Amino acid sequence: MHSILISGAAQGIGAATAKLFYQQGYKVGIYDINLEQAEQLAQQLGEHAKAGFLDVTDYASWEAALSEFASWAGEINILVNNAGILYSGPFEETNITNHHRTLDVNIKGVLNGCHAALPYLQQASFARVINLSSASAIYGQADLASYATSKFAVRGLTEGLDIEWQKYGIRVFDVMPLFVSTAMVKDMQAESIKKMGVHLKAEDVAQDIFKLAQLKDSVVFQKVC
């Protein structure tokens, strides 16, 4: 039985991904800064789901979460770096602390996860990393400047590691969805969402993540949805 650890898995895309992989027979790690909500989801899913605390901005938190999950699951086959935040609005009207927080969670969180997980992925019989990027990694958007910056960085990290880690038999992919109907997007203030609308559900993105997890070594690493 393969295993998957998902960051930011207590709600939204992370929770939908946890549910789908559980249904497909995976051992699922539901890791989130909201431990209570993560535990509730794990209890709903069943004995092959495990919840744990994870602050993705804290490298030591990653080390503890990965060690805990690997001991429980036996090995870590798939890492999904899903945790992310979004602040919308005019750049100059957004508090600098919120800009910094966006970069910390969305970039540092993914970088921490990839770096800390590598020893476990190297030991696994099959290993993949799937990073949640965004269509904002393809083109910048007004009122989402720091968010787009963070997702461009995730795209760059993904492309670099996919090349670098093939020597270990590890592929690194990313998913680049447009706006998804989640709590994060619900109150977003940006002209682009008014023009484009929200047409994706969390379950749609989860399906794309599952498809990427099954892909063979010769395929491309990006999925735009």
* 191-221 confidence digits (pLDDT tens): 555 444 445 688 899 999 999 998 876 555 4
Q: Does residue 203 lie within any of the structural domains? A: yes
**49 contacts 22 by C-beta, under 8 angstroms:** yes
**145 contacts 97 by C-beta, under 8 angstroms:** no
pTM of the model: 0.89
The structure tokens listed for 160 are 């670099």
Catalytic residue numbers read 147
Handedness of CA 197, 200, 201, 205 (dihedral sign): negative
Nearest CA-CA partner of 2 in 168, 214, 218: 214
Q: Kindly report the CATH number assigned to the domain that includes residue 88.
A: 3.40.50.720
**7 contacts 109 by C-beta, under 8 angstroms:** yes
Q: Does residue 14 lie within any of the structural domains? A: yes
Its domain, for residue 13, covers: 3-214
* 135-171 confidence digits (pLDDT tens): 777 888 888 899 999 999 999 999 999 999 999 999 9
Q: Does residue 221 lie within any of the structural domains? A: no
Q: Does residue 149 lie within any of the structural domains? A: yes
Amino acid letter, residue 81: N
Count structural domains, the chain.
Answer: 1
Which pLDDT does position 191 carry in this prediction?
54
